[in-house]
Amino acid sequence: MTLAIQLPQVGLRRYGSLLSAMAWGALAVAAAVVLLSLFASVLAPYDPDYVDLNNVLAGPSGQHLLGTDALGRDLLSRLMHGGRTSLLGPTIVVIGSTVLGLLLGLVAGWSEGWVGKVLGRLFDLLFAFPALLMAMLAIALFGKGLFAPILAMTIAYVPYVARLAQSLVVAERGRPYVQAYRVLGFRTPWVVLGRVLPNLIPTVGAQSTLNFGYVLADLAALSFIGLGVQPPTSDWGAMIEESRGALLGGYILPAFWPALVVVLVVVAVNVIGEELSDRIGGKLS
Amino acid sequence: MSQLLQIENFTLGFPGRPPLLDSVSLHVNDGEAVALVGESGSGKSLTTRAALGLFPGGSQSSGIVSVQGLDTLTASKQRLMELRRRRASMIFQDPRAGINPVRTVGDFLTETLVRLDGLSRAEATERAVTQLDQVGLRHAKELMDQHPHQLSGGMLQRVMIAAALLNSPDLLLCDEPTTALDVTTQAGIVRLLREEQQSRGMGMLFITHDLNLAASLCERVYVLRRGEVVEQGQTQTVFLTPQQDYTRQLVEATPVIEVGGLATPVVAGSPLLKVSGLSKTYQLPRGEIITALDDAGFALPEGGSLGIVGESGSGKSTLARLVVALETATSGELTLRDVRRPRRPLKASERKVLAKDVQIVFQDPYLSLDPRIPVGNAVADVFRLHQKQGRKEAKDSARVLLGRVGIGAERFDARPRALSGGQRQRVALAKALAARPRLLVLDEATSALDVSVQAQVLELVEELRDQLGLTILFVTHDLAVVSRLCSELLVMHEGRIVEQGPTARILEDPGDDYTRNLIASRPRPLWDAEPVTA
């Protein structure tokens, strides 16, 4: 009956296996970065804050694999330690925005009356504010550091999750299986939280994975303009910022490495997210 | 008579898997109407598409599929195009899926005439209008400027037939062209196809799952099962004296109106369900008001069985949803077990009480179960909620109940995805019964199933009704299904009840014109065809 759909399948399947090879690669990159950051205190060759003024802006060598920065600090060690703050921020933001977004989306999608409409408009309003602008506002209120940007980003990314969850819930609500639960007399909270919510998680999870990459880049950008993590804490965005002087002096490596890692992680996470949403999308349709 | 379509030992499959079609042989002569009958997955669509040179990507095939001597397995793209444009046309099940919704009917019909046949726009329009006229569409000129959404399903299928006939094909392939339509609409389309086929001397291959329909249209029939032709011959012979077990089962499972075996209607004191003056209207965003149900009134005694029959838009599903409180009535009264239904959405506590009185089984077995929950747990959840059973006890009860509806213990942990349509409907039935309701509403609960599966599920419902003393409210479009299960009948049309009474009486001596039309529209075998009057 579905011949028209089957026609291009052979080509698609080949494409599909290519994609998953890429996803495996992406997963390996992401895992490597996470593990190296997590165990930085054991694995890192040097103290990230150890200043060695006799050895500034050195190129890669046996002693310093990626070289040193303008204060002679080991770049590899700083990268590994910096991964902690750089990855921690997006992790908190993604978890926070996913939980909040799911809950708000469930409420908005389930209530047929004005509650759903008001929440929907609120999401639209939040969409209109760029995440970075929100973060700067929060920093103005709460001061520099990790807390304000994380709070602002969490709020800024809630509508991405909530809008998706809302539309999914609206679709699920009309399905016969949900109506059957109602007729069977199950309470609404049980149906919504126990039955409908788990059916949304794969799709929402894919969206949140994508969000991780965006948040990572946004937070790095905040650190770069000096509003995020403050020195001497190592952070990828802050590392790029600290290397501005060196960059102007012709030394690109201190800025290049953190930039490369940010790009690698963002791309890897996006590939994984795309793969997840493709697979789930294919399964649902 | 020469062979128009000839299929010899046609085998088709994907490498490394059992074949989808296995040595299928069939032929259609000039001017002959042939039916290809089979259940879902039997390969009937694959076979028919092969005649147009349409094969699933990556499949391997062998044998001969030839239309007027052109072998579609080996023919060049050019020749196949030529074949599809001039010699063979196809009509599909869903007319809406086959037409561009943003272009007019006129654009759709004249496009190929202008672009490929080199007709001028005026000539093409004239030909299209003539053709629309011929397929029984009035106001053909105005129709040309209308968009598909302005037409009903039946009208649109006539447009598709007109499009298929525009190039005067020698072979017409019909893939379940009436399955998505109402019975009365189907009757008109079938008549049209028969007339066109006869007057043009076209060959026709008609795919259907409905033996009755095949018998009303085609002289010869092929019965396909799992990619193999199991029986073939004159329709009458195959229908009346089937040789193969499978064909016999199929014939037996095909619902026919029979009023002999019905139980006499239950007459009881106080009715279980009583409805009077019940109406439901919806207001569209533009302020228009739609009356889905208008002043319905009936009573259903405890232990009775009431069939509600009507076509799409008749209000039958609205009525069913009102009974189970998925909708709230606009006016009128509904009393179930002496409890008057409030005219507002029910509170959670009220709903839980109501659940023990009435349950529903929906039409689509693929959507009415939670995809993530193993079927055993789904049923056990209901036992825990309503029978206050513990986790383990509920699982045991679920196992017993599922066994009773024919789902073995080995399927207890299966997800709905792993079950067939019939099995899912059995699970849905078990879920509903776990609440131990008095009244069971079946909303087209067997319409999406193959005939043989439908027969089994109906049998199960009958059995359960007798064992548990259930009261049944069966909503369906199919008179034959009702005649088997329900002693009382209620016929609905455009939101109103047009007739109600004992099923036997209504079927034998309908009192309303619409009911008469509904009964007359059922496909009738060619061999005892009385002219169908509409």
Written in H, E and C, the secondary structure of B356-424 is CCEEEECCCCCCCCCCCCCHHHHHHHHHHHHCCCCHHHHHHHHHHHHHHCCCCHHHCCCCHHHCCHHHH
Tell me what the mean pLDDT of segment A149-173 comes to: 92
Cβ atoms of B330 and A148 within 8 Å: the answer is no
Average pLDDT of chain A is 85
> Does A186 contact B at CB distance below 8 Å?
yes
Cα dist from A182 to A187, B192, B347, whole Å = 7, 45, 11
Give the pLDDT confidence score for residue A183 in this predicted structure: 93
Indicate the residue of B360, B372, B386 with minimum beta-carbon distance to A183. B360
Q: In whole angstroms, what separates CA B263 from the centre of its chain?
A: 27
Q: Are residues B249 and B362 in the same domain?
A: no
- Phi-psi map region of B53: left, alpha, beta (phi>0 left; psi -120 to 50 alpha): left
Does some domain include residue B420?
Answer: yes
- Under the banding of pLDDT at 50, 70 and 90, the label for residue A3 is very low
Q: How far is CA B149 from the centre of its chain?
A: 21
Q: In a 3-state reduction of DSSP, which class is residue B4?
A: strand
Nearest to A103 by CA among A192, A216, A228: A192
Domain C-terminal end among B374, B403, B436: B436
No. of H helices and E strands in chain B? 19, 20
Round to whole Å and give the CA distance between B73 and B9: 12
Judge: A183–B326 Cβ closer than 8 Å, yes or no: yes
**What mean pLDDT do residues B271-286 have?**
89
Q: What is the mean pLDDT of chain B?
A: 89
pLDDT at A174: 85
Number of Cβ within 10 Å of residue B132's Cβ equals: 26
* Chain B nearest CA to A169, separation (Å): 14
Residue A232: its pLDDT value, please? 77
Handedness of CA B264, B268, B274, B276 (dihedral sign): positive
Burial of B430 (0-12, 13-18, 19+ CB in 10 A): buried
Q: How far apart are CA B498 and CA B511, in angstroms?
A: 9
Q: Which of B252, B166, B240, B164 shows the shortest CA–CA distance to B204?
A: B164
Q: What single letter denotes the amino acid at residue A130?
A: P
Q: What is the mean pLDDT of residues B67-89?
A: 90
Question: A277 versus A6: which is more confidently predicted?
Answer: A277
Domains of chain A, first to last: 47-284 (1.10.3720.10)
Asked if B206 and B87 sit in the same domain, the reply is yes
Task: For residue range B227-236, list pLDDT tens digits in order.
Answer: 999 999 999 9
Does ipTM come in above 0.95?
no
Of B253, B278, B299, which residue sits at a domain end? B253
pLDDT score recorded for residue A58? 85
For B88, the enclosing helix (H) or strand (E) is: strand B88-91
| Residue B401 placed within a domain | yes
Q: Which two tokens stand for residue A238?
A: 């802050």
More confident residue, B63 or B2: B63
What does the pLDDT look like over B459-516, one tens digit per residue? 999 998 889 989 999 999 888 888 888 989 999 999 999 999 999 899 889 989 999 9
Chain B residue numbers with beta carbons less than 8 Å from the beta carbon of A177 are 367-371
CB proximity A195 to B under 8 Å: yes
Q: Judge whether residue A176 has pLDDT over 80.
A: yes
Q: Which three-class secondary structure state does DSSP give residue A119?
A: helix
Q: Is A61 exposed, middle or buried (0-12, 13-18, 19+ CB in 10 A)?
A: exposed
- Inter-chain residue contact B40 with A1, CB threshold 8 Å: yes
Q: Is residue B264 part of a domain?
A: no
The alpha-helical segments, DSSP class H, found in chain A are: 3-6, 9-38, 40-43, 75-110, 114-128, 131-142, 147-173, 176-183, 188-189, 197-224, 236-242, 244-248, 253-284
pLDDT tens-digit profile of B426-445? 999 999 999 999 999 999 88
Query: Minimal Cα distance from A189: which residue of B?
Result: B348
Interchain CB distance below 8 Å, A179 and B326: yes
Q: Quick check: is B520 in a domain?
A: no
Question: Domain count of chain B?
Answer: 2
Q: Which of A227-236, B338-347, B372-381, B402-411 has the lowest mean pLDDT?
A: A227-236
Residue B2 pLDDT level (bands cut at 50, 70, 90): low
Per-residue confidence band for A11, with pLDDT thresholds at 50, 70 and 90? very low
- The verdict on B455 touching A (C-beta cutoff 8 Å) is no
Tell which residue, B310, B299, B534, B311, has the closest CA to residue B439: B299
> Percent of chain A scored above 70 by pLDDT?
91
The helix (H) or strand (E) run that includes residue B481 is helix B479-485
Determine phi and psi for B498, rounding to 5 degrees: -95, -20
Q: How far apart are CA A230 and CA B254, in angstroms?
A: 78
Mean pLDDT score, A30-56 = 90
Which of B49, B368, B370 is opposite residue A195, by nearest beta carbon? Answer: B370
The answer, for B385 touching chain A at a CB cutoff of 8 Å, is yes
Chain A residue with Cα closest to B39: A1
Are B248 and B372 contained in the same domain?
no
Q: Do B248 and B397 sit in the same domain of this protein?
A: no
User: What is the tens place of the pLDDT at every residue in B356-370?
Assistant: 999 999 988 888 899
- Quick: pLDDT tens for A204-252: 988 898 899 899 988 888 888 888 888 778 889 888 888 888 888 888 9
Q: Given B405, B436, B467, which residue is the final one in a domain?
A: B436
Interface check B347 vs A, CB under 8 A: no
Position B476 in a domain: no
CATH number at residue B212: 3.40.50.300
The answer to whether B129 and B141 have CB atoms below 8 angstroms apart is: yes
Q: Which H or E run includes B298?
A: strand B289-301
| Burial of residue B156, with CB atoms counted within 10 A of its CB: 0-12 exposed, 13-18 middle, 19 or more buried | buried
Name the residue range of residue B375's domain.
358-436
B328 occurs within a structural domain: no
Task: Give pairs for A117-120: CB < 8 Å, separation 24+.
Answer: A119/A162, A119/A166, A120/A163, A120/A166
Q: Is residue B236 located within the same domain as residue B372? A: no
Domain check: are B217 and B364 in the same one? no
Is the pLDDT score of B205 beyond 50?
yes
Residue B418 lies in a domain: yes
Q: Is position B222 within any domain?
A: yes
Task: Identify the residue with better confidence: B252 or A100.
Answer: A100
Who contacts B237 (Cβ-Cβ below 8 Å, separation ≥6)? Answer: none
Amino acid A22: pLDDT:
87
Local confidence band at B530 (pLDDT 50, 70, 90 cut-offs): low
